[in-house]
Structure 1
Amino acid sequence: MIQQPDIMKIRTAALVLGVIFLLLGLSGFVSGITFIPGVTDSPTSAYPGPGYGYLFGIFPTNYFHNAIGILVGLWGLAAFTSIGGAIAFHQIFTVIYGAQAILGLFPFTKTLFGMMPLYGSNVLLSLLTAGIAYYYGFVKPGLLTKGTGLTANASK
Protein backbone atom coordinates (compact mmCIF):
# COMPACT_ATOMS: atom_id res chain seq x y z
CA MET A 1 0.00 0.00 0.00
CA ILE A 2 1.24 3.49 -0.80
CA GLN A 3 2.03 5.38 2.38
CA GLN A 4 0.05 8.59 2.91
CA PRO A 5 2.98 10.47 4.54
CA ASP A 6 5.10 9.81 1.44
CA ILE A 7 2.34 11.07 -0.83
CA MET A 8 2.07 14.21 1.29
CA LYS A 9 5.83 14.76 0.95
CA ILE A 10 5.50 14.85 -2.84
CA ARG A 11 2.51 17.17 -2.66
CA THR A 12 4.15 19.40 -0.04
CA ALA A 13 7.29 19.71 -2.16
CA ALA A 14 5.11 21.03 -5.01
CA LEU A 15 3.54 23.49 -2.58
CA VAL A 16 6.93 24.66 -1.27
CA LEU A 17 8.38 25.13 -4.77
CA GLY A 18 5.19 26.95 -5.75
CA VAL A 19 5.37 29.31 -2.79
CA ILE A 20 9.07 30.00 -3.37
CA PHE A 21 8.59 30.87 -7.04
CA LEU A 22 5.43 32.87 -6.36
CA LEU A 23 7.28 34.95 -3.75
CA LEU A 24 10.32 35.40 -6.00
CA GLY A 25 8.08 36.45 -8.89
CA LEU A 26 6.14 38.94 -6.79
CA SER A 27 9.34 40.25 -5.16
CA GLY A 28 10.74 41.09 -8.57
CA PHE A 29 8.09 43.79 -8.97
CA VAL A 30 9.02 45.48 -5.66
CA SER A 31 11.45 48.27 -6.43
CA GLY A 32 12.96 48.31 -2.94
CA ILE A 33 14.46 44.84 -3.31
CA THR A 34 15.20 44.86 -7.03
CA PHE A 35 18.40 46.76 -7.68
CA ILE A 36 18.82 48.50 -11.02
CA PRO A 37 22.29 48.32 -12.64
CA GLY A 38 24.08 51.65 -12.83
CA VAL A 39 21.98 53.14 -10.04
CA THR A 40 23.09 50.86 -7.23
CA ASP A 41 26.21 48.86 -6.51
CA SER A 42 25.13 45.71 -8.33
CA PRO A 43 26.68 43.86 -11.25
CA THR A 44 25.76 45.11 -14.70
CA SER A 45 24.49 43.13 -17.66
CA ALA A 46 25.00 43.27 -21.37
CA TYR A 47 21.25 42.73 -21.79
CA PRO A 48 19.32 45.38 -19.86
CA GLY A 49 15.67 45.62 -20.80
CA PRO A 50 12.31 46.65 -19.39
CA GLY A 51 12.12 46.06 -15.67
CA TYR A 52 15.67 44.74 -15.60
CA GLY A 53 17.40 44.50 -12.25
CA TYR A 54 18.87 42.18 -9.67
CA LEU A 55 16.42 40.66 -7.20
CA PHE A 56 17.97 40.98 -3.72
CA GLY A 57 21.09 42.13 -5.58
CA ILE A 58 21.74 38.49 -6.53
CA PHE A 59 19.33 37.14 -9.16
CA PRO A 60 19.16 38.88 -12.57
CA THR A 61 15.53 39.44 -13.45
CA ASN A 62 13.10 41.42 -15.59
CA TYR A 63 9.31 41.76 -15.89
CA PHE A 64 8.97 38.66 -18.07
CA HIS A 65 11.07 36.57 -15.67
CA ASN A 66 8.97 37.78 -12.73
CA ALA A 67 5.74 36.90 -14.55
CA ILE A 68 7.05 33.39 -15.30
CA GLY A 69 7.94 32.99 -11.61
CA ILE A 70 4.40 33.96 -10.61
CA LEU A 71 2.86 31.53 -13.11
CA VAL A 72 5.12 28.66 -12.00
CA GLY A 73 4.30 29.49 -8.38
CA LEU A 74 0.56 29.39 -9.02
CA TRP A 75 1.02 26.13 -10.93
CA GLY A 76 2.83 24.63 -7.92
CA LEU A 77 0.01 25.71 -5.61
CA ALA A 78 -2.56 24.13 -7.94
CA ALA A 79 -0.47 20.95 -8.27
CA PHE A 80 -0.59 20.50 -4.49
CA THR A 81 -4.26 19.49 -4.75
CA SER A 82 -3.56 15.97 -6.08
CA ILE A 83 -0.74 13.46 -6.15
CA GLY A 84 -0.95 13.06 -9.93
CA GLY A 85 -0.80 16.82 -10.41
CA ALA A 86 2.14 17.13 -8.02
CA ILE A 87 4.12 14.41 -9.79
CA ALA A 88 3.40 15.93 -13.21
CA PHE A 89 4.40 19.36 -11.87
CA HIS A 90 7.72 18.01 -10.60
CA GLN A 91 8.47 16.14 -13.82
CA ILE A 92 7.73 19.07 -16.13
CA PHE A 93 9.47 21.49 -13.75
CA THR A 94 12.57 19.27 -13.84
CA VAL A 95 12.73 19.32 -17.63
CA ILE A 96 12.14 23.06 -18.00
CA TYR A 97 14.37 24.30 -15.19
CA GLY A 98 17.03 21.66 -15.91
CA ALA A 99 17.19 22.87 -19.52
CA GLN A 100 17.29 26.47 -18.29
CA ALA A 101 20.22 25.64 -15.99
CA ILE A 102 22.10 23.87 -18.79
CA LEU A 103 21.52 26.77 -21.20
CA GLY A 104 22.74 29.18 -18.53
CA LEU A 105 26.09 27.38 -18.38
CA PHE A 106 26.96 28.41 -21.93
CA PRO A 107 28.35 31.96 -22.30
CA PHE A 108 26.52 32.60 -25.58
CA THR A 109 23.08 31.90 -24.05
CA LYS A 110 22.87 34.69 -21.51
CA THR A 111 19.16 35.09 -22.21
CA LEU A 112 16.26 32.93 -23.32
CA PHE A 113 15.78 34.37 -26.82
CA GLY A 114 16.49 37.84 -25.43
CA MET A 115 13.49 37.69 -23.11
CA MET A 116 14.73 36.34 -19.80
CA PRO A 117 18.18 36.37 -18.12
CA LEU A 118 19.92 32.96 -17.90
CA TYR A 119 23.17 33.62 -16.10
CA GLY A 120 24.68 34.22 -12.70
CA SER A 121 22.76 33.03 -9.69
CA ASN A 122 19.75 32.09 -11.83
CA VAL A 123 21.71 29.07 -13.08
CA LEU A 124 22.38 27.85 -9.55
CA LEU A 125 18.78 28.43 -8.46
CA SER A 126 17.46 26.60 -11.53
CA LEU A 127 19.84 23.69 -10.96
CA LEU A 128 18.97 23.41 -7.27
CA THR A 129 15.21 23.55 -7.78
CA ALA A 130 15.36 21.18 -10.77
CA GLY A 131 17.25 18.72 -8.57
CA ILE A 132 14.58 18.91 -5.88
CA ALA A 133 11.82 18.50 -8.47
CA TYR A 134 13.69 15.55 -10.03
CA TYR A 135 13.72 13.72 -6.72
CA TYR A 136 10.02 14.28 -6.04
CA GLY A 137 8.95 13.77 -9.65
CA PHE A 138 11.00 10.76 -10.69
CA VAL A 139 12.76 9.11 -7.72
CA LYS A 140 10.18 9.33 -4.94
CA PRO A 141 7.21 8.01 -6.99
CA GLY A 142 9.37 5.03 -7.98
CA LEU A 143 10.14 4.35 -4.33
CA LEU A 144 6.44 4.53 -3.49
CA THR A 145 5.51 1.87 -6.03
CA LYS A 146 8.50 -0.43 -5.58
CA GLY A 147 7.35 -3.87 -4.55
CA THR A 148 3.66 -2.95 -4.28
CA GLY A 149 2.60 -3.31 -7.90
CA LEU A 150 0.62 -0.08 -7.50
CA THR A 151 1.23 3.23 -9.21
CA ALA A 152 1.60 6.57 -7.48
CA ASN A 153 -1.14 7.97 -9.69
CA ALA A 154 -4.34 8.28 -7.66
CA SER A 155 -6.57 7.44 -10.65
CA LYS A 156 -5.43 3.80 -10.78
Structure 2
Amino acid sequence: MATSDRTGVSTGRTRVQTASMVVGAVFLLVGILGFIPGITTNYDQLTFAGHHSEALLMGVFQVSILHNIVHLLFGISGFLFARSVSGARNYLIFGGVIYLLLWLYGLFIGHDSSANFLPLNNADNWLHLVLGLGMVALGYFLSRNRKSPRTSQPR
Protein backbone atom coordinates (compact mmCIF):
# COMPACT_ATOMS: atom_id res chain seq x y z
CA MET A 1 0.00 0.00 0.00
CA ALA A 2 1.12 3.55 -0.62
CA THR A 3 1.98 5.51 2.47
CA SER A 4 0.62 8.94 3.30
CA ASP A 5 2.34 11.88 4.90
CA ARG A 6 0.70 14.07 7.57
CA THR A 7 -1.26 16.03 4.96
CA GLY A 8 -2.79 12.86 3.52
CA VAL A 9 -0.80 13.11 0.28
CA SER A 10 0.09 9.71 -1.08
CA THR A 11 3.80 8.91 -1.27
CA GLY A 12 5.45 5.87 -2.71
CA ARG A 13 3.94 3.02 -4.70
CA THR A 14 1.16 0.61 -4.00
CA ARG A 15 1.83 -3.11 -3.79
CA VAL A 16 0.28 -3.70 -7.22
CA GLN A 17 2.55 -1.05 -8.76
CA THR A 18 5.59 -2.64 -7.12
CA ALA A 19 4.51 -6.07 -8.38
CA SER A 20 4.14 -4.68 -11.91
CA MET A 21 7.68 -3.31 -11.73
CA VAL A 22 9.12 -6.55 -10.33
CA VAL A 23 7.38 -8.66 -12.99
CA GLY A 24 8.57 -6.18 -15.63
CA ALA A 25 12.14 -6.40 -14.31
CA VAL A 26 12.05 -10.20 -14.48
CA PHE A 27 10.83 -10.10 -18.09
CA LEU A 28 13.56 -7.58 -18.98
CA LEU A 29 16.18 -9.81 -17.38
CA VAL A 30 14.92 -12.90 -19.20
CA GLY A 31 14.86 -11.01 -22.49
CA ILE A 32 18.47 -9.89 -22.01
CA LEU A 33 19.65 -13.33 -20.85
CA GLY A 34 18.17 -14.85 -24.01
CA PHE A 35 20.85 -12.99 -25.99
CA ILE A 36 23.81 -14.11 -23.85
CA PRO A 37 25.77 -17.15 -25.09
CA GLY A 38 26.37 -19.67 -22.32
CA ILE A 39 23.21 -18.72 -20.45
CA THR A 40 21.44 -19.53 -23.69
CA THR A 41 22.76 -22.89 -24.88
CA ASN A 42 23.00 -23.66 -28.59
CA TYR A 43 23.26 -19.89 -29.08
CA ASP A 44 24.68 -20.43 -32.59
CA GLN A 45 21.30 -21.97 -33.53
CA LEU A 46 19.28 -18.95 -32.39
CA THR A 47 16.96 -17.94 -35.25
CA PHE A 48 14.68 -14.93 -35.60
CA ALA A 49 11.48 -16.94 -35.21
CA GLY A 50 10.01 -20.38 -35.67
CA HIS A 51 10.39 -23.83 -34.21
CA HIS A 52 13.74 -24.37 -35.93
CA SER A 53 15.52 -22.33 -33.26
CA GLU A 54 17.36 -24.80 -31.06
CA ALA A 55 18.58 -22.15 -28.62
CA LEU A 56 17.60 -22.91 -25.03
CA LEU A 57 17.53 -20.32 -22.25
CA MET A 58 19.25 -21.94 -19.24
CA GLY A 59 19.31 -25.14 -21.30
CA VAL A 60 15.54 -25.59 -20.82
CA PHE A 61 13.32 -22.96 -22.45
CA GLN A 62 13.31 -22.76 -26.25
CA VAL A 63 13.89 -19.19 -27.42
CA SER A 64 14.32 -17.19 -30.59
CA ILE A 65 15.17 -13.57 -31.28
CA LEU A 66 11.44 -12.80 -31.53
CA HIS A 67 10.75 -14.62 -28.26
CA ASN A 68 13.47 -12.56 -26.53
CA ILE A 69 12.11 -9.32 -28.00
CA VAL A 70 8.63 -10.19 -26.68
CA HIS A 71 10.14 -10.65 -23.20
CA LEU A 72 11.91 -7.29 -23.46
CA LEU A 73 8.71 -5.52 -24.57
CA PHE A 74 6.70 -7.19 -21.81
CA GLY A 75 9.34 -6.01 -19.33
CA ILE A 76 9.26 -2.41 -20.53
CA SER A 77 5.45 -2.52 -20.40
CA GLY A 78 5.55 -3.57 -16.75
CA PHE A 79 7.47 -0.40 -15.87
CA LEU A 80 5.30 1.86 -18.02
CA PHE A 81 2.03 0.51 -16.65
CA ALA A 82 3.33 0.68 -13.07
CA ARG A 83 2.99 4.47 -13.20
CA SER A 84 -0.64 4.12 -12.11
CA VAL A 85 -2.54 1.67 -9.93
CA SER A 86 -5.05 0.86 -12.68
CA GLY A 87 -2.27 0.48 -15.24
CA ALA A 88 -0.34 -1.89 -12.98
CA ARG A 89 -3.47 -3.91 -12.24
CA ASN A 90 -4.37 -4.13 -15.93
CA TYR A 91 -0.81 -5.07 -16.91
CA LEU A 92 -0.79 -7.94 -14.44
CA ILE A 93 -4.30 -9.22 -15.11
CA PHE A 94 -4.41 -8.83 -18.89
CA GLY A 95 -0.77 -9.82 -19.25
CA GLY A 96 -1.57 -12.92 -17.22
CA VAL A 97 -4.51 -13.68 -19.50
CA ILE A 98 -2.18 -13.35 -22.51
CA TYR A 99 0.17 -15.88 -20.92
CA LEU A 100 -2.72 -18.25 -20.19
CA LEU A 101 -3.78 -18.02 -23.83
CA LEU A 102 -0.18 -18.62 -24.87
CA TRP A 103 -0.14 -21.69 -22.62
CA LEU A 104 -3.25 -23.03 -24.37
CA TYR A 105 -1.77 -22.19 -27.76
CA GLY A 106 1.39 -24.08 -26.88
CA LEU A 107 -0.61 -27.11 -25.77
CA PHE A 108 -2.60 -27.37 -28.98
CA ILE A 109 -0.06 -26.59 -31.69
CA GLY A 110 2.52 -29.10 -32.78
CA HIS A 111 5.96 -28.15 -31.54
CA ASP A 112 7.37 -29.01 -34.98
CA SER A 113 4.61 -27.07 -36.73
CA SER A 114 5.16 -23.82 -38.62
CA ALA A 115 2.46 -22.40 -36.31
CA ASN A 116 5.03 -22.64 -33.49
CA PHE A 117 6.49 -19.27 -34.48
CA LEU A 118 7.83 -18.08 -31.10
CA PRO A 119 9.04 -21.09 -30.51
CA LEU A 120 7.54 -23.01 -27.59
CA ASN A 121 8.42 -26.30 -25.94
CA ASN A 122 6.86 -28.17 -22.99
CA ALA A 123 8.92 -26.24 -20.45
CA ASP A 124 7.72 -22.95 -21.98
CA ASN A 125 4.12 -24.13 -21.89
CA TRP A 126 4.14 -24.93 -18.18
CA LEU A 127 6.05 -21.78 -17.34
CA HIS A 128 3.40 -19.79 -19.21
CA LEU A 129 0.68 -21.43 -17.10
CA VAL A 130 2.46 -20.49 -13.87
CA LEU A 131 3.18 -16.96 -15.11
CA GLY A 132 -0.41 -16.46 -16.25
CA LEU A 133 -1.95 -17.65 -13.00
CA GLY A 134 0.60 -15.74 -10.92
CA MET A 135 0.16 -12.46 -12.79
CA VAL A 136 -3.64 -12.62 -12.65
CA ALA A 137 -3.52 -13.42 -8.93
CA LEU A 138 -1.09 -10.55 -8.24
CA GLY A 139 -3.20 -8.09 -10.19
CA TYR A 140 -6.41 -9.16 -8.51
CA PHE A 141 -5.34 -9.64 -4.92
CA LEU A 142 -2.96 -6.69 -4.68
CA SER A 143 -5.49 -4.22 -6.04
CA ARG A 144 -8.56 -5.25 -4.07
CA ASN A 145 -10.18 -2.47 -2.09
CA ARG A 146 -9.58 -3.28 1.57
CA LYS A 147 -11.47 -0.51 3.29
CA SER A 148 -12.89 -1.38 6.66
CA PRO A 149 -16.67 -1.05 7.06
CA ARG A 150 -16.16 1.94 9.35
CA THR A 151 -14.22 3.94 6.72
CA SER A 152 -16.53 3.10 3.83
CA GLN A 153 -19.69 4.47 5.53
CA PRO A 154 -20.68 8.09 4.92
CA ARG A 155 -20.15 10.47 7.82
- TM-score, structure 1 as length reference: 0.74
Structure with the larger RCO, 1 or 2 (CA within 8 Å, 6+ apart): 1
- Quote the offset at 1:23 in angstroms: 0.6
**Residue in 1 aligned with 2:42?**
36
**Residue in 1 aligned with 2:32?**
26
- Given that 1:25 and 1:70 are in contact with CA atoms closer than 8 Å, whether structure 2 keeps it comes out as yes
**Residue in 1 aligned with 2:93?**
91
How many Å separate the matches in 2 of 1:31 and 1:108? 27
- Which one-letter code corresponds to 2:14 in the other structure? M
**Residue in 1 aligned with 2:9?**
none
How many Å separate the matches in 2 of 1:10 and 1:71? 19
- Given that 1:33 and 1:55 are in contact with CA atoms closer than 8 Å, whether structure 2 keeps it comes out as yes
1:137 to 119, 136, 139: 139
- Quote the offset at 1:131 in angstroms: 1.3
Percent identity between matched residues is 26
RMSD: 2.9
**Residue in 2 aligned with 1:12?**
18
**Residue in 1 aligned with 2:77?**
75
- Given that 2:16 and 2:88 are in contact with CA atoms closer than 8 Å, whether structure 1 keeps it comes out as yes
SS of 2:117's equivalent in the other structure is: coil
- Given that 1:105 and 1:119 are in contact with CA atoms closer than 8 Å, whether structure 2 keeps it comes out as no
Structure 1 segments (4+ residues) deviating >6 Å: none
Deviation sequence 1:74-124 (CA, Å, 0-9, x none): 001112221111011012201110101122223536678342022221112
> Paired residues, what number?
138
SS of 2:77's equivalent in the other structure is: helix
Q: Which runs of 5+ in 2 are unaligned?
A: 4-12
How many Å separate the matches in 2 of 1:24 and 1:47? 19
Relative to structure 1, is the Cα distance of residues 61 and 85 closer, same or farther in structure 2, using a 3 angstrom cutoff? same
- Which one-letter code corresponds to 2:41 in the other structure? F
- TM-score, structure 2 as length reference: 0.75
How many Å separate the matches in 2 of 1:138 and 1:77? 18
**Residue in 1 aligned with 2:120?**
118
How many Å separate the matches in 2 of 1:79 and 1:22? 14
